[in-house]
Amino acid sequence: MFGLFSSPSSGNSQPSHAVKGAAGGIHAVLGTPLAAAPGAGQAEAQFGCGCFWGAEKGFWRLPGVVTTAVGYAGGQLASPSYEQVCSGRSGHAEVVRVVWDTARVSFADLLKLFWECHDPTQGNRQGNDRGSQYRSAIFVDDPDLLAVAEASRQAYQGALDAAGRGRITTEIGSGRTFHYAEPYHQQYLAKPGSRPYCSAQPTGIPLGPIPGATYLLPASVWESYDWAIPHCVLRGDNAPIALV
């Protein structure tokens, strides 16, 4: 990741396996607590799409998202630092924790953004970012949502196959502890002086229907994302997308 260091739906939400290291901050764009636990009618999941800076912005812009935070999940160390994760020895992936209002935005909508905003066939890299920390991943503890995630992977693989693309390498699982990243990483692209960096490499292939899941967001929302343009999220406004 090119950054501050020179080196690199179901409405039955359940609490995440574990969340550690929250600093008690407030979301720089949404104004909500970063460590907010899902309330009634809310759910949460973690998404790994390469560098977490651009991925987080993509998710916080969706109508109905309550809060987002970047962090590390899927590794072995009890309290990983950015340097340890970037070394590749901790086993963690860079992920975005998303809490959303299930009446306004569905897990299917979040999965549409996830699959379309990066290339899930690249293994332990995304664009210029290389290493296991940049792997594609979905971590969610609700078994109903886990099943939807699996169904979406099958659906997107079908779309990729039809286009002659490769096999998906995305890791899907539950029970992954989320560790909050350092404060300067949170909503990084919305902060003064941030470097406009995003390594995501969208395939340009849309996700179609997901068996057993329903999209809630109107088509107009997706007009705010143009995955044919490299690093599309860097060109969009920081504010959440307004529904007309």
Q: Which residues are catalytic?
A: 51
Distance of CA 156 to the CA centre of its chain: 16
Residue for token digits 């993509």?
A: 58
The secondary structure element, H or E, covering residue 216 is: none
Cα radius of gyration rounded to whole Å, the chain: 16
The residue type found at 8 is P
Cα 108 to Cα 147: distance, rounded to the nearest angstrom: 11
Contact partners, residue 243, CB within 8 Å, separation at least 6: 63, 218, 220, 221
Cα 17 to Cα 179: distance, rounded to the nearest angstrom: 11
Letter string b/e over residues 92-101, b meaning 16 or more CB atoms within 10 A of that residue's CB: bbbbbbbbbb
Cα 82 to Cα 94: distance, rounded to the nearest angstrom: 9
Angle (CA) 61-75-62 rounded to 5° is 10
Structure tokens at 6: 């020179």
